[in-house]
Structure formats: structure tokens, C-alpha cells
Amino acid sequence: MIPFSILDLSPITEGGSVAQSLENSRRLAIAAEANSYKRFWLAEHHGMKGIASAATSIVISHVASATKTIRVGSGGVMLPNHSPLVIAEQFGTLAALYPGRIDLGLGRAPGTDMRTAQALRRNMEASGNNFPNDVVELQALLGPVSEDQKIIAVPGADSNVPIWLLGSSHFSAHLAGMLGLPFAFASHFAPDMLLSALEIYRERFTPSPQLDKPHVMVGVMGVAADTDEEANYLFTSMQQSFAALRRNARGRFPPPVQSMDGLWGPDEKIFVNHAMSYAVVGGPETIRRKIAAFVELTKADELIISMPIFDMAQRLHSLELFAAAQRSLAAAT
């Protein structure tokens, strides 16, 4: 069975604080390492009242300092928000502090609203159009120094931090294949182009110094509990959050409710259920069945799970149940 990893956004819950959220990320990473997860990635978002991982490289260091073996990285850094040199220096520093454990996942979405993106980027048009060139520039800054190289990242140069491309469409699938990079698809919220993007990536893949054959990681929303009923109850936190996102009412991550009736309109319900098409929600037997079907569908090399659960103890329990499902499926293959 393929390895499992965790995608975390350091959710800020209603009644909680940023400090609590960052401590929860630390606790989740420690538990992930203890349960043999392969990676623990953090996502860059800005101006979101319910997400504390905006300064992604700092949160990566916070998590990596509390663990010893699990790989820690970005899922992802939104490269158009940054100079490639700055990211090379940041991740070169992380690689020096935590050798052999740092991943650099890159996306080209803003990770925020357009006004906040403007405050981050200043030049919106150049940033969006330059993404492929910025990726290549970043690769060079993290690789060996050439004789005629004018700009050198210190730290960063020759750190060879592994780069992943993240995407929810065909664009990054084409680019990852062309550059010979591993590809992670955001099927945990964008299901529509999953299979076609993976097909494009695999067909267009060109071997590179980093990777000799295609390597795919797929994302899922995952909520595991002792019973299907409890898991569906816990999942209402994510359903509320996505419905609020649909109406541009970004807030803190809400507690679960017994029923979504009256909390979303018909269009919002359709939007959320579609976005969560591949969500793995249920008790132990249900999640085993759903994971096996999803891996068979995608032929993925890795699975990365985002666990949108309000209560930290229940989030940790979900992590343990997914780890048990992975062991059970591995034993059966």
C-alpha cells in the first residue's frame, strides 16, 4: 500500500487562537511521525481568519524542530507571491537545519483574495505569467553553482531541496511533466480535472536529475471516527467552512453540528458536495474501502490527507485510524 502523508493548514477554530493552532500543528506532526506517515506539509494562505499557516516556512521550522524523521514541507508555497531567491534562501536554511527532511511544494494560485494578493505581489500580471520561469530559476538557485552564475542563494545553493509542483488543473500537470518533477494534485477540493491531469502528467513526463519516472501524490479530505455516523457529524465543520467560502464569508473553523439544514442553500450544498467528491469520511471499514477505491482509480504513488476536524483529540484519533487503515491495506496487498 502506498504511503500516507498529512496536509495541515493550522486551522484556527472558533474560540481558539493562533498560538493554539500552531501548537496543534506541532502535536499533529509528532503524532504523524509516531504513526509512520511519510510527510507533513503546510499550506500557504493569506488573509484567512481560519488559517494560521501564512508564514509557511516559519511554521515548517516549528514543526520540524519537534520531530526527527518525518519529512516536512510546503503544500504549498505560492511562488508568484515571492521572489525565487527569497524562497531559495528560506528553504536552503530549512534544509541546513533539518537535513534530508525538507520538501518544497510549489503552487501558482494566490492563496487569498485578489486585494491581499496585490498587497503581497505588487505586480500581479508579471507574477502570474512568470510562474514557469520562476520555477526554473528556483531550481537553479537550489542546485549546484555554475561557473557563470551571477546570483547565489546563501543558504540555498547546492541544497538540492526536492521540488514538487502542485495543481488543480492541467497547467501544472504539463509543467511538472516537462520539468520532470513530482506532481501533487489537489483533488481534496478540486475533483474535476483529477484523472485527465494525471494522464497528461504521465504522458508528458520527461526524466530529470531529480526524478527518473512520474511520481504522483493525490490529496483527499479525510475524517475518520469510530462510526460512520460520528465521522459524518465531524465532517459538518468542513461543510460549513466551504459553504461560507462559497458566499465569501471567511471565518474561523466552526464546530460540528447535528444537521446542515438551514446552514447552506441548495446551490451551496451542490458546490460543497461536488468539491468534496473524493472525501474519505467514515468509520474504519468505510475509510479502508474508500481509500482502496481511490488509489485504484488514480494509481497514485502517495496519498496526502487533510483532516478538517474541529476538536484536536478527535483529529488525532482520525490520524490514528487512517494509519491503521494504511497498515491493514498494506497487509492485504
pLDDT digits (tens, 9 = 90+) for 205-259: 999 999 999 999 999 999 999 999 999 999 999 999 999 988 888 899 999 999 9
pTM, entire model: 0.95
HSE toward the beta carbon, residue 30, CA cutoff 13 A: 9
Three-class secondary structure of residue 10 per DSSP? coil
Distance CA 52, CA 21 (A): 7
Instruction: Tell me what pLDDT residue 218 has.
Output: 98
Side chain identity, residue 222 = G
Mean pLDDT within 36-58: 95
User: What are the structural domains of the chain?
Assistant: 1-161 (3.20.20.30), 217-333 (no CATH)
Q: Which three cell numbers stand for residue 309?
A: 476536524
> Is a pLDDT exceeding 90 seen at residue 3?
yes
Instruction: Tell me what pLDDT residue 230 has.
Output: 98
Q: How sure is the predictor about 284, in pLDDT bands with cuts at 50, 70 and 90?
A: very high
> Is a pLDDT exceeding 70 seen at residue 122?
no
Mean pLDDT within 191-207: 97
Report the 3 state secondary structure along 123-177.
CHHHHHHCHHHHHHHHHHHHCCCCCCCCCCCCCCCCCCCCEEEEECCHHHHHHHH
Instruction: Tell me what pLDDT residue 109 has.
Output: 76
- What is the average pLDDT score of the chain? 94
- Percent of the chain at pLDDT > 70 equals 95
Instruction: Tell me what pLDDT residue 134 has.
Output: 94
Three-class secondary structure of residue 308 per DSSP? coil
* Phi and psi torsions of 316, nearest 5°: -65, -40
Q: How sure is the predictor about 126, in pLDDT bands with cuts at 50, 70 and 90?
A: low
> Is a pLDDT exceeding 70 seen at residue 2?
yes
35-44, 128-137, 238-247, 275-284: the lowest-pLDDT one: 128-137
> Is a pLDDT exceeding 60 seen at residue 111?
no
List the alpha helices (DSSP H) in the chain: 18-34, 56-64, 84-97, 114-121, 124-129, 131-142, 170-179, 194-204, 228-246, 266-275, 284-298, 312-332
The residue with greater pLDDT, 24 or 149, is 24
> Is a pLDDT exceeding 70 seen at residue 123?
no
User: Contact at 8 Å (CB) between 79 and 106?
Assistant: yes
> Is a pLDDT exceeding 90 seen at residue 117?
no
83 CB-near residues (< 8 Å, 6+ apart):
none
> Is a pLDDT exceeding 70 seen at residue 294?
yes
> Is a pLDDT exceeding 60 seen at residue 73?
yes
> Is a pLDDT exceeding 60 seen at residue 331?
yes
Distance CA 157, CA 137 (A): 12
Q: How sure is the predictor about 333, in pLDDT bands with cuts at 50, 70 and 90?
A: confident
User: Contact at 8 Å (CB) between 201 and 183?
Assistant: yes
Mean pLDDT within 184-189: 95
Q: How sure is the predictor about 35, in pLDDT bands with cuts at 50, 70 and 90?
A: very high
Give 220's DSSP letter. Answer: E
Closest of 277, 281, 270 to residue 308, by C-alpha: 281
Give 256's DSSP letter. Answer: P
Please list the residues that pair with 193 across neighbouring strands: none
Q: Which residue has the cell 493554539?
A: 20
Q: Is the peptide bond before 167 cis (omega within 30 degrees of 0)?
A: no
- Percent of the chain at pLDDT > 90 equals 87
Mean pLDDT within 291-318: 97
Mean pLDDT within 31-39: 98
